[in-house]
């Protein structure tokens, strides 16, 4: 380039010298130089005009103008750059087409929005699952098309660890699982998965458990009733019959407790996100449960204390809250040796309300903690025979808390006692019921 430029400079100077010499020959050297410079300027202006015309051409593929000297080199360079640019564009377009083709082939709906929820792109499955239309919905707010309030809260909360389940806005029989990922400049990639089949299976399982429990309840009540009558009149029977009747009585009570818990769990599970906003007086509720726990402790004489601070009222379903708290407090009594301590605290802060149940009991090995809220999971199966537990208590607690947008935190160490804490969000707390 440097070499071409110096050659061009040499040619230009030589031409100017030529016109000056021609002027000298005619007796006007200055006019010769001026006319040489003028011609050079006109030529440059003409080349600039051609360049401007080429750059303004609407079609990128228009051939670059041909020229000589430095302008020829410039046009050729620009032409090459343009060609490279066009090739890169073609490659990128092909890649985008391929990505779009593959995402269109996906069975899950995929949607791209910006941070405010303006729809930028979506695949074919999103059109089917969510009812979006390619021509009219581009640039729309996604909240105008998916109007479920839970979706808006999920989108804004930016906490995408757990997916959200909603009904499809265009096909209500379709159950969708929504998962959002953040990318770029706070943009969102939304994936909608059709989980209708899974949902139906889950519903069938719940219905089955609930129906079986209800069906078993009546015959069991009859059996227990007769066993009680037999036990009342067992005085005349031989000792081995008395033992048999007592054992049958104990086992039928266990089964009754199991069926009661199964019915309660399926009720709590099916009542989805509780809509009940009844203010529940936590202070009063927990005091009553602690009183029942003292009766349960009986001769074991546990020291059961309760302390509360902050707002006492929680919006929710009192029945479910009672079940959750009593399961935790009764467990603390069951798994703590005689004369042990059970301390219950209620406190509030900017994050919400917290009910913690702490005991000085046997504790739980940390390997069991992640699975403790599963149905029938027991940390120490040999121990549950003495406690008469059903194995459903913590599953009931977990589901009752989910229904109140809450969560359960478990801290425990073998031999050092346990602490179970229920966390509730701040928007469920109220100072007192409205009069
Ligand atoms: P269960 O009816 O057997 O008590 P839960 O679901 O209430 O069933 O509890 C599950 C298991 O968790 C229990 O079997 C027990 O091993 C353990 N567990 C629950 N609470 C405590 C506690 N406070 N201290 C020690 N272990 C506990």
Over residues 21-59, the pLDDT tens digits come to 998 888 888 888 898 899 989 999 999 998 898 888 877
The verdict on the CB of residue 380 being under 6 Å from ligand 1 is: yes
331 CB near ligand 1 (under 6 Å): yes
Instruction: Verify that 299 and 373 share a domain, yes or no.
Output: yes
Q: Is residue 419 within 8 Å of residue 357, measured between CB atoms? A: yes
Residues of the domain holding 74: 2-100
Instruction: Check residue 383 and give its pLDDT.
Output: 60
Res. 399: pLDDT tops 90 = yes
Q: CATH no. for residue 313?
A: 3.30.565.10
Classify residue 289: in a domain, yes or no: yes
In ligand 1, which atom is closest to the CA atom of 363? 25
Residue 120's closest CA among 181, 188, 50? 188
Q: How far is the CA of 123 from the centre of ligand 1 (A)?
A: 47
**Ligand 1: does its nearest atom lie under 6 Å from the Cβ of 340?**
no
The pLDDT, as a whole number, for residue 174 is: 95
Give the domain CATH number at 218: 1.10.287.130
Atom 16 of ligand 1, residue of closest alpha carbon: 379
pLDDT band at 220 (very low <50, low <70, confident <90, very high): very high
Domain boundary among 226, 243, 271: 271
Whether the full predicted model's pTM is greater than 0.75, yes or no, is no
* pLDDT band at residue 435 using 50, 70 and 90 as cut-offs: very low
* Beta strands across the sheet bearing 352-359: 303-308, 341-349, 352-359, 418-425, 407-412
Per residue in 223-247, pLDDT tens? 999 999 998 888 888 888 889 999 9
Residues in the chain: 435
Measured between alpha carbons, how far is 121 from 138 in angstroms, rounded to an integer? 7
Q: Are 421 and 354 in contact (CB under 8 A)?
A: yes
CA distance 177 to 161: 13
Q: Tell me whether residue 184 is in a domain.
A: yes
Half-sphere exposure of 269 (CA within 13 A, CB side): 19
Using one digit for the tens of pLDDT, what is the confidence trace for 139-195? 999 999 999 999 999 999 999 999 999 999 999 999 999 999 999 989 999 999 999
Return the SS3 of 96: helix
Tell me: the pLDDT tens digits for 249-276? Answer: 999 999 999 999 999 998 888 775 555 7
Mean pLDDT of 184-208: 93
Ligand 1 probe mutation, 371, 379, 399, most atoms within 8 A of CB: 379
Where is the domain boundary, 100, 133, 151? 100
Most confident among 26-35, 98-107, 279-288, 384-393 (mean pLDDT): 279-288
Q: Looking at 207-340, which runs of residues are DSSP E strands?
A: 278-281, 303-308, 313-316
CB 140 within 8 A of CB 156: no
Question: 411 and 368 in contact (C-beta within 8 Å)?
Answer: no
For 406-434, write each residue's pLDDT tens digit: 999 999 998 899 999 999 999 999 876 65
Q: Are strands 164-167 and 119-122 parallel, antiparallel or unpaired?
A: unpaired
Which residue puts its alpha carbon closest to atom 25 of ligand 1?
Answer: 363
Question: What does pLDDT average to over the chain?
Answer: 90
- Residue 435 domain-assigned (yes or no): no
Please tell me whether residue 130 adopts helix, strand or coil conformation. helix
Is residue 379 domain-shared with residue 420, that is, in the same domain? yes
Q: What is the pLDDT of residue 269?
A: 85
Write out pLDDT tens, residues 84-100.
998 999 999 999 889 88
Residue among 271, 352, 274 nearest 317 (CA)? 274
CB 204 within 8 Å of CB 197 = no
Check if the beta carbon of residue 340 is closer than 8 Å to that of residue 361.
yes
The predicted pLDDT at position 200 comes to 94
Candidates 363, 356, 357; CA nearest to 337 is: 363
388 and 304 part of one domain: yes
Average pLDDT over residues 327-349: 95
Quote the tokens at residue 63. 């051939």
CB contact set of 83 (below 8 Å; sequence gap of 6+): none
């Amino acid at each position: 380039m440097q070499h071409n430029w110096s050659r061009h400079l040499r040619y230009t100077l030589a031409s100017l010298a030529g016109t000056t010499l021609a002027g000298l020959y005619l007796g006007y050297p200055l006019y010769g130089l001026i006319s040489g410079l003028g011609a050079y300027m006109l030529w440059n202006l003409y080349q600039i005009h051609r360049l401007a015309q080429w750059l303004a051409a609407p079609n990128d593929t228009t051939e670059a103008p041909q020229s000589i000297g430095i302008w020829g080199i410039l046009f050729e360079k620009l032409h090459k750059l343009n060609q490279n640019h066009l090739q890169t564009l073609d490659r990128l377009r092909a890649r985008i087409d391929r990505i779009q083709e593959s995402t269109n082939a996906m069975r899950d709906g995929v949607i791209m929005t910006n941070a405010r929820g303006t729809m930028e792109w979506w695949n074919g499955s999103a059109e089917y699952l969510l009812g979006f239309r390619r021509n009219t919905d581009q640039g729309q707010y996604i909240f105008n098309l998916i109007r479920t309030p839970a979706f808006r809260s999920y989108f804004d909360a930016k906490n995408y660890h757990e997916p959200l389940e909603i009904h499809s806005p265009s096909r209500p029989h379709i159950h969708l699982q929504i998962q959002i990922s953040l990318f770029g400049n706070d943009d969102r990639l939304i994936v909608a998965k059709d989980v209708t089949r899974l949902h139906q299976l889950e519903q069938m399982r719940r219905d089955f458990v609930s129906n079986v429990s209800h069906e078993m309840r009546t015959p069991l009540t009859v059996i227990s009733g007769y066993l009680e009558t037999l036990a009342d009149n067992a005085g005349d029977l031989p000792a081995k019959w008395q033992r048999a009747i007592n054992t049958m009585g104990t086992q039928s009570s266990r089964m009754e407790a199991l069926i009661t818990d199964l019915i309660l769990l399926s009720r709590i599970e099916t009542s989805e996100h509780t809509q009940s906003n009844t203010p529940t007086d936590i202070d009063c509720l927990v005091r009553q449960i602690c009183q029942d726990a003292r009766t349960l402790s009986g001769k074991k004489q546990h020291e059961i204390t309760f302390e509360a601070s902050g707002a006492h009222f929680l919006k929710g379903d009192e029945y479910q809250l009672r079940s959750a708290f009593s399961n935790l407090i009764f467990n603390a009594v069951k798994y703590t040796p005689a004369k042990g301590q059970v301390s219950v605290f209620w406190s509030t802060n900017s994050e919400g309300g917290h009910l913690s149940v702490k005991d000085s009991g046997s504790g739980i090995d940390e390997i069991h903690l992640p699975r403790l809220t599963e149905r029938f999971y027991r940390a120490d199966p040999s121990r549950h025979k003495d406690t008469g537990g059903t194995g459903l208590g913590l599953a009931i607690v977990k589901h009752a808390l989910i229904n109140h947008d809450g969560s359960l935190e478990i801290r425990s160490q073998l031999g050092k006692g346990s602490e179970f804490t229920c966390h509730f969000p701040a928007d469920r707390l109220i100072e007192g019921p409205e009069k």
